[in-house]
Structures are given as structure tokens and as C-alpha cells.
Structure 1
Amino acid sequence: MRSTSHSVVLALGLILLTLISQCYGSPLYVGYYQGKCWNHNIEKIIFGVVKEKFEKDPTIVAGLIRLQFHDCIVRGCDASVLLDGPKTEKTAKPNLSLKGYEVVDAAKEVVEKICPGVVSCADILAIVARTSVFLAGGKWYYVETGRRDGVVSKESEALANLPSENMPVRDAIHLFASRGLTKEDFVILLGGHTVGVTHCDKFSHRLYNFHNTGKSDGRMHKGMLYEMKKICPRKDNGHNNKVYFTYNPRSHYRIDNTFYKQLLVNQGVLEIDANIGRSPLTNSIVKKLAYSPDYFYNKFGPAMVNMGRVGVLTGNQGEIRKSCRAANYYHKY
């Protein structure tokens, strides 16, 4: 049982943040903005912005987690996914369904008013993702900050680097390893699918023509297959219909281990989800996460921290944007 309430944990976390600067042997460290914005607690201010948005729309949790992932996995955690413009990352097909930009914009606007030109969009993206995880029932974790913003954003790089919903497990593990992330990081980060929705076009091949067999994916739970076919008819007009990643309505917007429990009974929606539940490379990790709620509760934050270290810009690299949607000077996307 977790006896400490979320509010108490948050209060302790924000107090400790003003007292410590925990370095991890990298240019990023916890408490980077302490003393850089007078006596303002930047993370507490951003927390308030996200909380207000979350109370109106809990779907932002999945959106903000996914937004940070789609940023970090391409050029590194440099907020390049936020840049507007022709042929930028956000114009790539896998990014067209991204949500949460308005939350980042709102946080940046508030921070710029009290501390202009200091807080990077890349750090804001990491902080809003952490805050949403906490508000959705996840464990508070300390965000390392000190990133600077990139000025290049290319659609082609997003298309080349973002993993597909059907990527084989071995290939996904290699992709994450190339970013300095472990196999366990990969499986735990995929647990972000415990919140939010996907669309029928992301998995309809499993319902009607799995790997060009003309049949359904035989691994899919029969009851789930029946329900998914009702939501996602074979006709094209059903491809944009939404499906929750988890069957349990109480878990739709909660950070918990329901996702992994479903994988063990063949109720993973996306092909990559189903694959990690069955692959000998990842099945033992999935079981550990499914059987122990506290294991996922304690591990998701550290996996997000690890992801947040990928390809960061620090020192004289990059810039601090005035707007998260535009670089401070002209460049070709």
C-alpha cells in the first residue's frame, strides 16, 4: 500500500528541489533553474499550468508523454518536434496525431513573463510530461534540466527514426539501444500505452488481413477481436475511430500496470504491444511489470529520465527559444 498521498509527495518534492542540486555526471542536473529566475520556483509554476489543463482534459497525459517521446527519439530531446514550418517533424505522418502543444505553449508563456529567455522549451517539455504522469497517479520523479533548444526540424528524420506500430521487437530494442536506452527502458516506456487512445488505422490489419493472410491475428483475444471489429469496421470510414489502449475504464487516464496485465491475456491493441508480451526477448520483463504494480510505479519515472538524456544540447549548443514554435533566427527546416 502506498500510504503517502500525492499531495504530500508533491510538497516534499518541491521543497527538496529548492534545497538540492543532484548531479548525475552529465550536463543535466536536478535544480538547474534554482537561482536563475530570482526566487521563482519554475517547476512549481509549470506544475500549476499543467494541473489547470489536466483538470479540464485528462487526455493530455498520454499526449504529453507521447510528445516527449516523439521529440527525444528523433534528434534527441531538443524540442525540435515543437517547431512550426514546412517539412518539420510535426508534419510527418506519425506526428500528425500528436497532442499537447497548447500545454507547452501555455507553460512557456507564463515562464517567459517572469523569467524571459532563460527556460528552454526542451526542459518545459520534460517538466510538463513529468507533471502529467504525477497527476495521473504515477510516482513523482525528479527531472534533470539544463537542455537547450534545437533549431533544426526535419520531416524526413521523423519518418526515418520514429518506430512504427508494427516494428519487430528485436528492431525496436536495437533502435532504443542506439539512443543509449536499455531493453527494460523500451518495455517500460511502451507502458505509456496504459493511458490514452489509438486509432483503428494503426491496427486494423490485425483484424482483417494480418500480414497479408486475409485473416485476423490469431493471437488476439477472441472477445477483444469481436469488440474491435465493431469499433473498427472494414470500411475505410472507420479508420479514424478511437480505441482505448486499456479495457478497464478506471484505467483509461491512469498511470498503472493494467497495460501489462492485458498483454499476458492477448489483449494488446497494437502489434508492437502484442509482440512484447510474447517475445522471449521481453516476455519476462512484461511479466514482472504485470505481476508487481509497484515495480512499474517505481520504474516508469527513471525510464523517462533516461529518455530525457538522449541527444541533449547544452552549453553553447542550440538556443533558448522565445516561442516554442519558432527558432529565434531563420534557418532551413
Structure 2
Amino acid sequence: MAKLAVLAVLASLLSSVSCEFSIYAGYGYPPPNPSQPYPLPPACPPLSPAPGLKVGYYADKCPCAEDVVRDAVRNATAGEKAGLVRLFFHDCFVQGCDASVLLSGPQTERTAFPNLSLRGFEVIDAAKAALEKACPGVVSCADIVAFAGRDASYSLSDGKINYGVPAGRYDGNVSRDIDTFFNLPPPFGDLNLTTAMFAAKGLNENDMVVLSGAHSIGRSSCNSFTDRLPPAANSSTAMEPILAADLTNTCSAGSVNVPQDFKTADTLDIQYYKNVLSRDVLFNSDASLTTSLLTNGWVDFYAGNRPSFLGKYLAPFVWHNDFGEAMVKMGNIGVKTGPPQGEIRSKCWSVNNP
């Protein structure tokens, strides 16, 4: 494990100068070997609401809390908003939803290869600074990340995704880069690996398919999908040839960032599912959703391909609702609701008493 961590850190340093390094090493995984499949993590029981969390938690503690976060997100760019949705995911999957991803310093989650491209930290810091003036020591960074993920989703979906965020989380005081490698589903994962990594957090296959729809927004570095470009495998999940050729040409310039959804890049919508079916997706983890009848069925439904009225016209509404529910469910992972497990940080990038 220690050797893998060292290799992963080295790979993360090299990633800024070359797009030829192995994304497997960057995530702490060895290269694929069909005779030695990756060990899958054990599944956890389904998530239930975390004790102590409730919608409207700050109503009598800091009534302006959600408004302050909403204003900070409103002023963010589309790229920052996409980053805030991703930031919530990356926080919850490592150490739980406790803002551990925000802590800065050597060998923290923030320095690990999968998190080097995270965005939105300035938005969180701005909201936190405003809240510390209005309600000192009351609103946790973990709750700010959760609110910001919801508000960014609302904005990027043109108001179609909106849900109440149960709050009352405390901020964690542990952040280790090594933890990211074995908790964050990698982009090169097949369906078994991705499903197992979601299950390890108490999330089922429908949650996985629904939350994968967040790849409808944001951008990704060429480094993260080198395994999908020619001469990649010619399987049924291989990238659509025209897109693969275009990306090969684009990525030849180096470490370039490209849209994850080339058709509606800044809109959180069901176009992602149409892209999965036409193989116009960057990551193997997305393409592999078509490799089982169950997950392919959900992809097909959310894409609006079912012949019934419900399938064709209501699929977007169903997905918007399901996405909000899955975000709430994910927000229950590893919640800390008081000391000694957590605290209310005065600055999101540092524990109160280092």
C-alpha cells in the first residue's frame, strides 16, 4: 500500500507535464491485468438518514445560512458550479461528508491525483467568510459544501433540480491523500468495480446511474481518458470513432481540458444518457453502464427512449427528481454530528487547533 501511495504521488506530479503517464498509477491502481482482477470493497448496508441532520437546521441558529451560500454560488462561473457538484461527491466518498477535501497541506486529500482538478474552493471560502461574520462558529464547511452542491445543480439545470438539504454536519479533522485512491471510483473502472465502490458507501446501482449523470457538466483533462483513445480496445463500449479521432487530435497538444458532454456542456440534463448509448462519453466507467441489462435499462429510460408517454416526455422530470434524492442520500455518508469526531471550523482549509 505504501509503495502504491508513493507511486501515485509521483504520478500526480508528472501529470502536469505529460499526458502519457498511466492514469492507473495516478489513482494508486496497478495497470489492468485480466488474470488478476482488482479486489472489490465489501458492500455496506443501504444508507439511512444520518441522525442529527434535518432540513432547515439553521433556521433558528443562522437564518441567512442557505441564502449566503446561494448568493456565493450564483456569482460563480459555469465551470465553478460544475466543480461544486463534483466537490460534494469527492468529499462524501472520502472520510464521509465532512469537508475533509477542503483541508490544505502536504499529503491531504486535496493533493491527491484525483483531486488536483477540483474547482470551487474559492466559492466555499467566500461563503464561509460571510457566514463567520454573520454567525461566527455556527455553520460548518461540510454543510456549505452540501448547500453549494445543491445550488450549483439548481443553476446548471435551469432550476429543474431543487431539493431540501438536511444539515447539521460537523467538519472532520482528518485528510489523507492515500484515502482518495481506494474510495473514489476511477474513470477507467468497469461496471463491477464502479458498482462495488458505490455499494461500499451504501449506494445502489440506481444511485450510481443517477449520480453518473453529473458527467453532463464540467470538463476533464486528456490524462483521465487516455485508455479510451486509439489504439484502445475495440469492444462494444469503445468510444465512438469520430469522437475518439477528434480527441486524439486535440489531446496531442498536451494536457488539454475538454467538455465531458460535447452537446450541452454547461447544462445538467439527460443528454449524458443519450451520450452513453451512442458511446460519446469520455470514461470507461460511463461506457460500462451499458454492459448489464439493469443499468442499461436505467440509462435507456433516463435518455427518454422508452416508447411510452412516460418514457419520452417525463424522463427528464424523473431524472431531476432522482438526482436530488441521490444527492441527499449521498450526503448521509460518514456524517459527523459533534465532537470529538468533528468541529465547526472557522476556516475551511484548516482545522481550528492544528
TM-score of the aligned structures, taking structure 1 as reference length: 0.84
Question: Partner amino acid for 1:92?
Answer: A
Name the residue aligned to 2:69.
46
| 2:352 counterpart of 1:328 | yes
Question: Partner amino acid for 1:160?
Answer: F
Find 2:317's aligned residue among 264, 288, 294: 294
Find 1:32's aligned residue among 57, 65, 74: 57
Task: Give the number of the structure whose residues are more often helix, by fraction.
Answer: 1
| 2:243 counterpart of 1:224 | yes
Distance in 2, matches of 1:181 and 1:205, equals 27
Which runs of structure 2 are paired with 1:122-133 in the superposition (5 Å)? 122-133=142-153
| 2:188 counterpart of 1:166 | yes
Name the residue aligned to 2:291.
278
| 2:277 counterpart of 1:264 | yes
Gaps of 5+ in 1: 1-22
Q: Indicate the SS of the match to 2:82.
A: helix
Question: Partner amino acid for 1:228?
Answer: L
1:19-78 Cα distance to aligned partner (Å, 9 max, x none):
xxxx957321101111112xx32101211111122xxx1111210011111110011001
Structure 1 residue runs of 4+, over 4 Å off? 215-218
Q: Indicate the SS of the match to 1:116.
A: coil
Distance in 1, matches of 2:262 and 2:195, equals 27
Distance in 2, matches of 1:218 and 1:36, equals 50
Asked if the contact 2:49–2:332 (Cα under 8 Å) also holds between the matched residues in 1, the reply is no
Distance in 2, matches of 1:24 and 1:30, equals 11
Seen in structure 2, the aligned counterparts of structure 1 residues 113 and 271 have a Cα distance that, compared at 3 Å, is same
Which runs of structure 2 are paired with 1:1-333 in the superposition (5 Å)? 26-37=51-62, 40-53=63-76, 57-137=77-157, 138-210=160-232, 219-233=238-252, 237-238=253-254, 240-248=255-263, 251-291=264-304, 292-316=315-339, 317-330=341-354
Seen in structure 2, the aligned counterparts of structure 1 residues 25 and 112 have a Cα distance that, compared at 3 Å, is closer
Distance in 1, matches of 2:156 and 2:335, equals 27
Question: Partner amino acid for 1:205?
Answer: D
Q: Indicate the SS of the match to 1:324.
A: coil
Question: Partner amino acid for 2:115?
Answer: N
Q: Indicate the SS of the match to 1:264.
A: helix
Asked if the contact 1:207–1:217 (Cα under 8 Å) also holds between the matched residues in 2, the reply is no
Distance in 2, matches of 1:73 and 1:111, equals 26
Distance in 2, matches of 1:319 and 1:285, equals 39
How far off is 1:281 after superposition? 4.3
Name the residue aligned to 1:14.
none
Question: Partner amino acid for 2:266?
Answer: Y
1:131-161 Cα distance to aligned partner (Å, 9 max, x none):
0111112411110100000001001111221
**Aligned-pair Cα RMSD in Å:** 1.8
Q: Quick one: percent identity of the two aligned structures?
A: 41
Asked if the contact 1:204–1:232 (Cα under 8 Å) also holds between the matched residues in 2, the reply is no
Asked if the contact 1:210–1:217 (Cα under 8 Å) also holds between the matched residues in 2, the reply is no
How many correspondences in the alignment? Answer: 294
Asked if the contact 2:191–2:291 (Cα under 8 Å) also holds between the matched residues in 1, the reply is no
How far off is 1:205 after superposition? 2.3
Gaps of 5+ in 2: 1-47, 305-314
Question: Partner amino acid for 2:59?
Answer: Q
Distance in 2, matches of 1:220 and 1:52, equals 35
Distance in 2, matches of 1:172 and 1:218, equals 15
1:253-298 Cα distance to aligned partner (Å, 9 max, x none):
1111000011111111111111113333411111111112222111
